[in-house]
Amino acid sequence: MKRQLKGSLNKPRLYVFKSNKHIYAQIIDDHNHKILASSSTLSEKINKFSNCEIAEKIGKNIGIKLKNQGIQEIIFDRGKNIYHGQIKALANATRKEGIQF
């Protein structure tokens, strides 16, 4: 059984969910039980099915939203997905925006 990841006040959690058609990224504050930011393929700007290029755009978008909120460090929660393909592309694009995890 996988251990449950939890963010703190200083490090919120970036949760990534991937379905067959779409990919979703949410920044979750586990202490206050709130979603601070989110981005997905269903958003107005992207609106396409997921692939590695689209996952990079989502990672960049979530990184920009984090920088605007003054957050520099996060905990990366990939759920049950392996760190490969779209998940890896999203994580690397978020790191390129200066977010550490």
Predicted confidence (pLDDT) at residue 46 exceeds the cutoff of 90: no
Could you state, in order of their start, the residue ranges of all structural domains in the chain? 13-96
40-53 burial by CB neighbour count: b if 16+ within 10 A, else e?
bbeeeebeeebeee
* pLDDT at 1 (0 to 100): 42
Which tens digit of pLDDT belongs to each residue from 23-37? 999 999 988 889 999
Q: How confident is the model at residue 3 (pLDDT cuts 50, 70, 90)?
A: low
Would you state the pLDDT for residue 2?
53
For residue range 48-98, list pLDDT tens digits in order.
787 899 999 999 999 999 999 999 999 999 988 999 999 999 999 999 999
Q: 13-96 maps to which CATH number?
A: 3.30.420.100
